[in-house]
Amino acid sequence: MGVENPIEILIKSQQAAIKVATDTVKAVAGAAVTGVTQPTELVGQVADLAGSVAGLAGVLQNLLGATAQPLQDVLVRQRELADTVAVLADAQADIAAVVSKLAERHAAAVAALEKLSSPIFMVAGTSPTAPWGREKKGDKDA
């Protein structure tokens, strides 16, 4: 039996649970009198109550069937998303390592150019322009 609306099944199961609870209270209240005066009627009431409980179990089974697969699908998609984000994080780490190595090589190239150009600046009587931009991690407080 295919279930189209899990919320509707939940509402029906709650209604069935309230009916079973109400029937139980009525049955318990009348059981003392009925059990003594009409034992056959008491057996019928117990049978009806058992039938109600069985019906409630069927409704709950339908509810579980309707919600279990969508919930499983959500969990699988969340796991796939977590795995994808982990792959992205690994790729970001690889990119960061490449960029870091590029920055080291560029700094080495700048140091070589400064060493090469230093005598030229001395002869010309000028000093190199102070660098601007990002501070080094240790120079923030200076």
pLDDT digits (tens, 9 = 90+) for 68-114: 777 788 888 889 989 998 998 999 999 999 999 999 999 999 999 88
Residue 72 inside a domain? The answer is: yes
The residues, any chain, with a CB within 8 Å of residue 55's CB and separated by 6 or more, are: 16
Residue span of the structural domain in which 113 resides? 6-124
Q: What is the pTM of this model?
A: 0.42
- Give 21-45 pLDDT, tens digit per residue: 677 666 666 665 555 556 666 667 6
| Token representation of residue 111 | 């140091």
Residue 132 inside a domain? The answer is: no
Residue 27 inside a domain? The answer is: yes
Residue 14 inside a domain? The answer is: yes
Q: What does the pLDDT read at residue 33?
A: 59
Give the model's confidence band at 118: pLDDT under 50 very low, under 70 low, under 90 confident, else very high. confident
Residue 1 inside a domain? The answer is: no
Residue 137 inside a domain? The answer is: no
Structural domains counted in the chain:
1
Q: Which helix H or strand E contains 74, and what residues bound it?
A: helix 39-124
